[in-house]
Amino acid sequence: MEFSLLAIGEVMAEIRKGTSGDFKVGFAGDTYNTAVYCARALNQPGSVAYKTSIGRDPLSAGCIDAARSEGIDTNQISTNPERNIGVYAVSTDASGERSFSYWRASSAARGMFTDHDDVRALPNSRIVYLSGITLAILQPASRQALMNELRILSESGQSLIAFDSNYRAQLWESTDAAQTCLSEMWDIADIALPSIDDEMALFNETSEDAVISRFNEKTWEACAIKRGARGPVSPFLEPHAHPKFKTAEIVIDTTAAGDGFNGAYLAAYIQGQNETECMLSGHELASRIVSAPGAIVSQSRR
């Protein structure tokens, strides 16, 4: 069996304060969010798989149930009895911007690929998707082993590698390590889905044009550079050929907007849509996500 998409990363329990003052628990994490939204868009149960490691605690069990309810194949999720699933709490301000508190330092996902045979056992997948957060949480030797395998998969034509740098400085051991690693991943990747502000922050670029020019230097299978509410830009299209992107009428919570964009974009790509259609699908979903609280909006709001 070949999966349409295999996403690799960390899923966490999300604790969010509700409007009535109580706390609600869900499950989220950048690559997991992308997997969920891609699975929803494809509507082909079992075509999207998620690779992570969790514990044997009640929250970990709840995570498996949540993923299965979204039609995600969970056979690539391993359990570590000595560790738990990561946890984070999120709050939002009046403009929908988020602040987070994390309890993830000893999460099971951080121990992925310490056995390098696990890297070579990745299932057949049309697209393998990961992010800079995926790489940042891994041990340096494990992250390098994963990148080496991804390069083999890409160069052999076995899989397309999709990547979002999703730069979070606090997760990296140093800025130099992040720059070196993420530069290598952009060299490996076939599908580029960066956010322009992340790229500017990581590589100390002072203008959006500098980022766009850098991504123009490589030939991609697909590429959309996200710019939030203004919509993405693509090296495949001349500036005048980009569609007009509608902005969200209401912004409640920007959590997972970029992840949702990636999920819908990749689903459209898998379904054979062109670059413009892929970008419109991604932006339209992101606009809906920001109008509701939480990383994973309810099915009724798709």
- What ranges make up the beta strands (E) of 67-145? 77-79, 86-92, 98-103, 125-131
Neighbours of 2 (CB within 10 A): 11
Strands 12-17 and 23-28: antiparallel
Using a 10 angstrom Cβ sphere, with 0-12 exposed, 13-18 middle and 19 or more buried, the burial of residue 207 is exposed
Given 118, 190, 253, 259, the catalytic residue: 259
What is the DSSP code string of 191-257?
Answer: EE--BHHHHHHHHT--SHHHHHHHHHTS--SEE-BB-GGG--B-TTS-GGGSPPPPPPS--S--TTH
Instruction: Report the alpha-carbon distance of residue 155 to residue 149 in Å, rounded.
Output: 10
The answer to whether 211 touches 233, Cβ cutoff 8 Å, is no
Residues near 182 by beta carbon (within 8 Å), at least 6 away in sequence: 132, 135, 165, 167, 202
Instruction: Report the alpha-carbon distance of residue 173 to residue 60 in Å, rounded.
Output: 27
The answer to whether 205 touches 213, Cβ cutoff 8 Å, is no
Structure token digits, residue 110: 């951080």
Structure token digits, residue 208: 């959006």
* Residue 259 annotated among the catalytic residues of the structure: yes
Active site residues: 259
